[in-house]
A and B are shown apart, each in its own frame.
Chain A
Amino acid sequence: MSALSDVASREQAARELLAHYVRVVDDPERVHEWPDLFADETEYVVVTRENLERGLPVAVIRDDSKDRILDRVTVIREFWGAGGRLEDRHYNDVRPRHLVGPVWTEPAEDGSVRVTANFGVWLTPSADPTPRLLALGEYRDHVVFTPQGPRFRSKWVILDTAVLQDVFVYPL
């Protein structure tokens, strides 16, 4: 912790965690690294602004434990065949691309950092050269510092896109 006791360096580390996150979720070969970015006690929630504002509990994704986050990788790789042989894949091959920014950071008294950022996710299907805008929204992250480094204590993905423009394989 001592190396990160300075507020500015903690905020910088939180920004780097987000940049690393984007690198991992945009690379189908690296999806197995995605759970490593989360703390042991954690949650990953993708929810439409519509449901959030109405107080409705249904989310697009509600991975409310590290186990559920690890399971998502199992579903992606073993249920859907992602990362395996092309002919074993049971989804239509797309390259996801996140565009993130601006990023705002807000240090908390307890040493953690709140991170918010605008994001858009585009999908480029291999069978169709036209990119698809899948979703637009806002990240609301809570980053804590563990002995292993900065990790997401929670990551909320708030979708402006009340109607998702496609199904999706990789995390938003």
Chain B
Amino acid sequence: MATVLPRASGGPPVSLRWPPEDNRIPREIFTDPDLFRWEMDALFTGPVWVLVGHEAEIPQPGDYKTISVGAVPVIVVRGGDGQVQVLVNACAHRGARLVEGPSGNVLRAGFRCIYHMWTYAPDGTLQGVSLPEDFPAEFRREDYGLPRARVATHRGLIFASFHDETPPLPAYLAELTEGLDRVVGDGRLRYLGSVKVVFRTNWKLYVENIYDGYHVTALHTGFQVVRLRSHGGQRLVPNYQRNGHLWGQSRSTRVDELRPVLRDMSLFEVRTKPTTDHNMIVVFPSGVVTDYFDTIQLRYVLPLAVDRTLIEFTFFARSDDPEEVVRHRVRQGPAVLGPAGAITLEDAAALERVQTSSVARGDNVVLKGTPKRFPPYRHVDEAPIRHFYQAYRRLLGVADGAPSQP
């Protein structure tokens, strides 16, 4: 049974202003700490499914990893019965963090709180407490399991929700499942590891950047150097009336047609797919799924503070990949998409600049592709950003065009 977390009542910060035009984004949403707290509550623990992992990261019974859902630290764990649970990483007694590291296995030992030696089974049920004499007579262990999120999976992708009214996952993902299936295939993946880095930007700037096809050739100058272009593609916003997912599709220049400025061009090589088509997907609000070149990557966008966001880049191979394919993926993935990757650094640079100058107030403007009102857009358009913010505003209760009232 899932637990619904208690949440703050009321509305967004009274001062929040939104321009009437839907292609304008008020800069104060990137700097307002009250709004940030409201987002963690109303959005991340609201009626959304947050991507928290893939089952390949926790393949064995008892395997766990830690992550967060908005501000809530959680443990994603595979129980002894194979079922995946998402548990709040805080003892139900006095709230001490239960596990410290990024991953481990608790099949035998369970989770034991260091503070008063309460122990929990891998599925979060309370197994034992130390010295329970003189507890109130009504104390029952079953009342003190770890709070857990609703969990749903799609082809091994693990989603968590702390809200009762979140629609079933298939309805939430809707047409996006076709894109996800193209990336994760039948879901049988092998986890290769992750690379984590702090972006000095608000989490929304990180996410909206993925909706923006306009910056790709302008900002990522490496693409110009090797003459890599997109040969068609589109940016879809599946189910845009209900949520703000993105499904970007693009076909890039074949490696043998690129300008060979690198001695080892395998960085840009596609060996595992019949074409150079790739998908760049955002599962609203904070999950990124892509199969760029031969890199199978999930990204978890984890807000730390109003101006700091942890990006965890996780890399996968397919379970049946031959070793030389695994090696190719290992060599390519972080070299392209990661903190020292050939096309990641520039995003961090641009987004940090947008963040630091957001104190200038005013609005950011979205122009390219906006004469078209609805998806599909061209792959070079930034117009899909509007749909991200439409979904965002619905969840936060920020009405179109009018200042919000308390």
A residues neighboring B (CB under 8 Å): 46, 48, 50-51, 54, 56-62, 64-65, 67-68, 70-71, 74-75, 78-81, 90-92, 127-128, 162-169
- Tell me if A50 and B102 are in contact (CB < 8 A): yes
Tally of contacts, chain A with chain B, CB under 8 A:
113
Is B124 part of the contact surface with A, judged by Cβ < 8 Å?
Answer: no
Known: A56-B193, A91-B349, A163-B310. A62 touches B225 (CB 8 A): no
* Chain B nearest Cβ from A89, distance in angstroms: 8
Q: Which residue in chain A gives the minimum CB-CB distance to B225?
A: A78
Query: Could you list 9 examples of A-B contacts with CB < 8 Å?
Result: A59-B334, A62-B334, A65-B264, A67-B264, A71-B267, A79-B225, A92-B349, A163-B197, A164-B197
Residues of chain A within 8 A (CB-CB) of B326 are: 57
**In the docked arrangement, what's the CA distance between A68 and B332, Å?**
11
Known: A58-B315, A78-B225, A80-B221. A91 touches B345 (CB 8 A): yes
**In the docked arrangement, what's the CA distance between A79 and B102, Å?**
33
Q: Which residue in chain B gives the minimum CB-CB distance to A127?
A: B356
Q: Which residue in chain A gives the minimum CB-CB distance to B194?
A: A58
Q: Which residue in chain B gives the minimum CB-CB distance to A168?
A: B340
Is B53 part of the contact surface with A, judged by Cβ < 8 Å?
Answer: no
**In the docked arrangement, what's the CA distance between A51 and B191, Å?**
11
**In the docked arrangement, what's the CA distance between A81 and B225, Å?**
11
Interface residues of A, dominant DSSP: loop
**In the docked arrangement, what's the CA distance between A13 and B199, Å?**
39
- Tell me if A165 and B340 are in contact (CB < 8 A): no
Is B263 part of the contact surface with A, judged by Cβ < 8 Å?
Answer: yes
Identify which of A80, A127, A162 gathers the most chain B CB atoms within 10 Å of its CB: A80
7 more CB-based (< 8 A) A-B contacts, given A79-B222, A90-B220: A57-B192, A59-B334, A75-B262, A78-B222, A79-B221, A92-B349, A164-B196
- Tell me if B262 and A74 are in contact (CB < 8 A): yes
- Tell me if A60 and B310 are in contact (CB < 8 A): no
- Tell me if B193 and A166 are in contact (CB < 8 A): no
Residue of A60, A71, A80 near B195 (CB, 8 A) is A60
Interfacial residues of chain B within 199-218, with CB under 8 A of chain A in the complex? 199-200
Q: Which residue in chain B gives the minimum CB-CB distance to A132?
A: B200
Q: Which residue in chain B gives the minimum CB-CB distance to A68?
A: B264
Residues of chain A within 8 A (CB-CB) of B234 are: none
Is B338 part of the contact surface with A, judged by Cβ < 8 Å?
Answer: yes
Residues of chain B within 8 A (CB-CB) of A81 are: 221
Is B333 part of the contact surface with A, judged by Cβ < 8 Å?
Answer: yes
Residues of chain A within 8 A (CB-CB) of B353 are: 92
Is B352 part of the contact surface with A, judged by Cβ < 8 Å?
Answer: yes
Residue of A46, A48, A62, A67 near B330 (CB, 8 A) is A62
Residues of chain A within 8 A (CB-CB) of B174 are: none
Residues of chain B within 8 A (CB-CB) of A56 are: 191-194
Residues of chain B within 8 A (CB-CB) of A91 are: 345-346, 348-349
Q: Which residue in chain B gives the minimum CB-CB distance to A64?
A: B331
- Tell me if A54 and B197 are in contact (CB < 8 A): no
Q: Which residue in chain A gives the minimum CB-CB distance to B102?
A: A50
Residue of B103, B261, B267, B340 near A60 (CB, 8 A) is B340
